[in-house]
Amino acid sequence: MVADAQTYADHAIDRVFPSLEAIKGYRGALLLRKDEPSRVEFVVLTTWESLTAVRGFAGHQIERAVIEPAALNVLTEFDTIVRHYELVHRTQVE
């Protein structure tokens, strides 16, 4: 629901991302938002030191999405499978 979009964003920013900082190997996150006429789509990208670090967060089934109960209350749909990629190059301009 479009009205719940900011609720989800606030939850991710204020609660989820800070809680991830306690997990060894967590390196950061990006929250991307796309507003459409009838819905809002989010993409969450997290960065980790290694797949071992990902397992510290997600458990042994690292391809299964981890969705907090509070997020389930406001999301109308979400991917249940995640994909992992190795960082080849990063450019950053400040």
Count of residues in the chain: 94
89: in domain: no
Judge whether 79 lies within some domain: no
Q: Is residue 36 part of a domain?
A: yes
What domain range includes position 54? 2-72
Query: What pLDDT sits at residue 75?
Result: 85
Six-digit token string for 63: 């391809």
Instruction: Let me know: does 1 contact 7? Beta carbons within 8 Å.
Output: no
Range 51-74 average pLDDT: 90
75 or 1, which is more confident:
75
The verdict on residue 88 lying in a domain is no
Separation between Cα atoms, residue 53 and residue 40, nearest integer Å:
30
Q: Give domain status of residue 11, yes or no.
A: yes
Residue 41: pLDDT over 70: yes
Other Cβ atoms within 10 Å of 71 Cβ, number: 19
Total of domains in the chain: 1
94 falls within a domain:
no
**CB-based contact 44:29 (threshold 8 Å):** yes
Looking at residue 4, its pLDDT comes to 81
User: How far apart are the C-alpha atoms of 49 and 73, rounded to whole Å?
Assistant: 30
- Of the pLDDT bands very low, low, confident and very high (cuts 50, 70, 90), residue 73 is confident
Instruction: Give mean pLDDT, residues 50-69.
Output: 92
Domain-located, residue 29 = yes
